[in-house]
Amino acid sequence: MGRGGSRAAPAAAAPPWHVLPDEVWEHAFSFLPADSDRGAAAAACRSWLRAERRSRRRLAVANCYAASPQDAVDRFPAVRAVEVKGKPHFADFGLVPPAWGAAAAPWVAAAADGWPLVEEISFKRMVVTDDCLEMIAASFRNFQVLRLVSCEGFSTAGLAAIAAGCRNLRELDLQENEIEDCSIHWLSLFPESFTSLVTLNFSCLEGDVNITVLERLVTRCRNLKTLKLNNAIPLDKLANLLRKAPQIVELGTGRFSADYHPDLFSKLEAAFAGCKSLRRLSGAWDAVPEYLPAFYCVCEGLTSLNLSYATVRGPELIKFISRCKNLQLLWVMDLIEDHGLAVVASSCNKLQELRVFPSAPFDAAEQVSLTERGLVDVSASCPMLESVLYFCRRMTNEALITIAKNRPNFTCFRLCIIEPHTPDYTTHQPLDAGFSAIVESCKGLRRLSVSGLLTDSVFKSIGAHADRLEMLSIAFAGNSDLGLHYILSGCKSLKKLEIRDCPFGDKPLLANAAKLETMRSLWMSTCSLTLGACRQLARKMPRLSVEVMNDPRRGCPLDSLTDESPVETLYVYRTIAGPRSDTPACVQIV
Amino acid sequence: MSPPLEPHDYIGLSAAAPPTPTSSSSSSPSPAPRLTLRLGLPGSESPDRDGDCCEDVAAALSLGPLPAAPKAAAASAVVSAKRAFPDPAQRCPGAAKASANDKQQASPTAPPAAKAQVVGWPPVRNYRKNTLAASASKSKAPAEEAASGGGGPMYVKVSMDGAPYLRKVDIKMYSSYEDLSMALEKMFSCFITGQNGLHKSSSKDRLTNGSKVDALKDKEYVLTYEDKDADWMLVGDLPWDYFTSICRKLKIMRGSDAVGIGEIGAVHSTSYHINTSTNSAFY
């Protein structure tokens, strides 16, 4: 874009806007909060592209294979905070072969080279090795935030490198990672002079922790706001830690069980009473009901309560939750049952997000009394409820229709009826009508997971009505190719589609190939796809990476298979980096 | 614009489908109409999800090197594994696991799983599964016969001094200390160069594996475990059933490091770790 205007203004007037220097645009772009807005601005013209990319500080790479690390470093040279996600979502449930990929090492290496000023690194579902952590500790002199979510491949040796090397570390946030325990006292490697910690989350660590060292660390880090412990910290030590850090805002208790002792109870109660800023609480694994009242003094202030690993049940649990009148987020096990959720509905009117997890997902005999009633009650009484994840064993269309009517403001609705193909238990009909009501009523729905007995007609509704839907998860549903066709030809905003065990075949995939380039990724496993269609898709769409995976335990030389061979798993994603070179033997890019 | 698609009826369901047999142990007195539900690849043999084809399901659930069994059914037996790998264990562990996971199939002899567990369903994260399995075993520990295998598989980590990585085993799959030690021996034998295998110094094993005692005079290994109080104990003192309910971790220690464990008194876990940290490969 050149100097289009012919305004030969007098010297005193400001220059025309399109010749303003880059720094002005960079400052303007700093007010754009969303990366997508910045991306849109960058696409307007070359000078905006230059100004935007040179001033981008935060970068989120939602698929680590969509672009190469070098691409990212070259395009955005000034990045200070980077987040990279790796494996597809279904890796959480064991559907992705173990050595599939998503290594963090290339990203760390590129960052060490091109982004020496990086302060924050987040990895999700990636393989992070101890070498990566050592490189992070050695390469970034102002490194402050390390967040690892659902990662694997590292041990306490890597954590030791971080503790010893990152002088300015503010956040060490380890969420649900698989961490090998090398029996290294990594906590003691934080130097005595180190006081900058604001967040320390090691709840997923299975090993022991030196409690004296932890106490000293907590004492000298006066800005510590988030502390999430693992299950190696006994209850009385927890009380000590709280007394040393009364300023904390978020606490993960780890274990919360011990034989009941009135002394210990009083100690805990007093410790919690001192935590006037506590707003978010999690943990309470193995919680002993008699100790729950120790929390009572903080209930009023809690906005977030995560009891999703707590196997406590009964009246003490319900009484405790009912006192948390300001809860915005509640994660519980289905042990709360319908009557507990009814109490939540009447007490926690500010609730925005509810997740109910199954306590015995594989054991149909141990049934808890959690049904559609609980969800109906909560959605009726909590006007701000917008995000739900609900595991249950039965559902009706009527309940879903009622929920849809009461809560048109859902942005995330994930319902998992544990037994596949479960119909409406009163009418024995598929649950098409119920889910259709949800998508028709909730115009802002961004994420949806369906379950139960469903035919193609529900996908017709979803395709037609779910205009803002970005992520859709389907399992054991549909009865023909039409189902997939409805989704791919509709759903204007779809970014991620994951499907398993549905009778969807080649035709809708090939007919809607162009749609796939507008999406981030598509996962289809145990459907009716053939290798020939995947090959055809790859030929037709060169900017997609078409990965085919078969059972890793069967030797699978995919090259030798015919076009008619069935494909167990297909994972398609758009990429500017071309085919990746780190696939294991059972994954092939066609 | 899109080409006409003929819907082909894969599952055999129409819109007004008869109800799926959900809980075969409860509700309907007369069996619901059998639906041809298929798990696995189209056209492949697949065990029915109904309870009738017990033998097929049991065969498909047996672990070990997999034959042409369809992925879904065969893999279901390892649904709770951190990775979907078959455990290299012997003698009908699939049947044992199936009975552990489906309590409603209470037949004592051949325990087929009418609900063949599908890989990754319900969608519960591996991390959550492992955490809940660990806490379920802890809460069932006191005085309860854990032989019925309630609560699902009980995975414990097994570490060995000098080995570069750890392993996990489901101790509920073994019925005795001999079983366990044989399996561990197979698993870790690759780390012992030039020796025949491991020797567990519990008194029971000395009697049964007498031939191995002298083979490893200079490299004796001792099997220890961490109990629910986080103390490291010598394996072999407790009745097997009780042991499986309280064992949290296993560690194969060099005999020289194991002095003071068990007989003299439980070593506190923290100080024990300090002793071994010098052996760990760190910088």
pLDDT score, position B52: 41
DSSP string, A114-180: H-TT--EEEEES-B--HHHHHHHHHH-TT--EEEEES-EEEEHHHHHHHHHH-TT--EEEEES-EEE
Structure tokens at B141: 């520990």
B2: chain A residues, CB-CB within 8 Å: 485, 489, 511-512
Cβ pair B151, A311 in contact under 8 A:
no
In a domain? residue B68: no
Residue A337 in this model has a pLDDT that exceeds 60 = yes
Interface of B with A in 86-105 (CB under 8 A): 86, 101-104
Q: What letter would DSSP give residue A558?
A: G
pLDDT score, position A151: 96
A294 and A342 co-located in one domain: no
Q: Give the separation between CA B82 and CA A93, rounded to whole angstroms.
A: 9
Which pairing describes strands A544-549 and A566-574: parallel, antiparallel, or unpaired? antiparallel
In this predicted structure, which of A278-282, A326-330, A366-370, B151-155 has the lowest mean pLDDT? B151-155
Q: What is the pTM of this model?
A: 0.71
Contacts of A562 (CB under 8 A, 6+ apart): A531, A532
State how many domains chain A has: 4
CATH number at residue B241: 3.10.20.90
Cβ pair A154, A129 in contact under 8 A:
yes
CATH number at residue A42: 1.20.1280.50
Q: Give the separation between CA A180 and CA A133, rounded to whole angstroms.
A: 14
A206 and A305 co-located in one domain: no
In a domain? residue A489: yes
Q: Who among B17, B119, B281 is closest to A423 (CB)? A: B17
pLDDT, tens digit (0-9, with 9 covering 90-100), for A496-528: 999 999 999 999 999 999 999 999 999 999 999
The mean predicted confidence, pLDDT, of chain A is 92
In a domain? residue B178: yes
A457: chain B residues, CB-CB within 8 Å: 15
In a domain? residue B130: no
Q: Give the separation between CA B196 and CA B199, rounded to whole angstroms.
A: 9
Mean pLDDT of A31-36: 85
Region label for B34, one of left (φ > 0), alpha (ψ between -120 and 50) or beta (otherwise): beta
pLDDT, tens digit (0-9, with 9 covering 90-100), for A240-259: 999 999 999 999 998 887 78
- The label of the residue with tokens 């707590």 reads A310
In a domain? residue B202: no
Cβ pair B169, B153 in contact under 8 A:
no
Mean pLDDT of A440-466: 97
For residue A51, give its domain range: 22-56
Q: Which amino acid is at A39?
A: G
pLDDT, tens digit (0-9, with 9 covering 90-100), for A177-236: 999 988 788 999 999 999 999 999 999 998 888 999 999 999 999 999 999 999 888 888
Mean pLDDT of A558-564: 80
A363: chain B residues, CB-CB within 8 Å: 101-103, 152
For residue B176, give its domain range: 155-194+217-257
In a domain? residue A426: yes
Interface of A with B in 433-452 (CB under 8 A): none
Query: In this complex, how many residue pairs, one in chain A and one in chain B, have their CB atoms less than 8 Å apart?
Result: 198
A306 and A336 co-located in one domain: no
Q: Pick the residue from chain B with its C-alpha nearest to A393.
A: B22
> Does A340 lie at the interface with B, CB-CB under 8 angstroms?
no
Residue A463 in this model has a pLDDT that exceeds 90 = yes
Q: Nearest CA to CA, how far is A299 from chain B (Å)?
A: 25
Interface of B with A in 102-141 (CB under 8 A): 102-104, 115, 117-129, 131-132, 135-136, 138-139
In a domain? residue A318: no
Q: Give the separation between CA B158 and CA B186, rounded to whole angstroms.
A: 13
Measured in whole angstroms, how far is the alpha carbon of residue B114 from the centre of its chain? 19
Contact A185 B277 (CB under 8 A): yes
Q: Which amino acid is at A232?
A: A
Contact A566 B20 (CB under 8 A): no
Please state the ipTM of this predicted complex: 0.84
> Does A206 lie at the interface with B, CB-CB under 8 angstroms?
yes
- Choosing among A213, A215, A447, A479, which should be mutated to test the B contact, i.e. which has the most B CBs within 10 A? A479
In this predicted structure, which of A106-115, A540-549, A560-569, B74-83 has the lowest mean pLDDT? B74-83
Q: Pick the residue from chain B with its C-alpha nearest to A417.
A: B122
> Does B7 lie at the interface with A, CB-CB under 8 angstroms?
yes
A216 and A103 co-located in one domain: yes
Residue B265 CA: distances (Å) to CA of B231, B242, B255: 10, 19, 16
Q: Nearest CA to CA, how far is A577 from chain B (Å)?
A: 29
In a domain? residue A279: yes
In a domain? residue A107: yes
> Does A176 lie at the interface with B, CB-CB under 8 angstroms?
yes
In a domain? residue B268: no
Q: Give the separation between CA B147 and CA B243, rounded to whole angstroms.
A: 10
Name the CA dihedral angle for B60, B65, B70, B75, rounded to a multiple of 10 degrees: 80
Query: Regarding predicted confidence, which is higher, B7 or A333?
Result: A333
pLDDT score, position A448: 98
In a domain? residue A525: no
pLDDT score, position A35: 84
In a domain? residue B50: no
Interface of A with B in 106-135 (CB under 8 A): none
A460 and A403 co-located in one domain: yes
In a domain? residue B223: yes
B98: chain A residues, CB-CB within 8 Å: none
Q: Who among B66, B85, B165 is closest to A554 (CB)? A: B66
In a domain? residue B147: no
Render each residue's pLDDT in chain B as its tens digit; 283 residues: 444 544 444 443 444 444 444 443 444 444 444 444 444 445 444 444 443 444 443 333 333 343 333 443 333 333 333 443 333 333 333 333 333 333 333 334 444 444 556 888 999 998 888 877 777 666 554 434 333 444 567 788 888 888 888 888 888 888 888 888 888 888 887 776 544 444 444 444 444 443 443 333 345 778 888 887 778 888 888 888 888 888 888 888 887 665 555 443 333 333 333 333 333 333 3
pLDDT score, position A12: 58
A31 and A72 co-located in one domain: no
Cis peptide leading into residue B29 (ω within 30°) = no
Residue A86 in this model has a pLDDT that exceeds 50 = yes
Q: Which amino acid is at A369?
A: S
Contact B121 A480 (CB under 8 A): no
A334 and A451 co-located in one domain: yes
State how many domains chain B has: 1
Contact B128 A482 (CB under 8 A): no
Mean pLDDT of A460-486: 97
Q: Give the separation between CA A500 and CA A322, rounded to whole angstroms.
A: 38
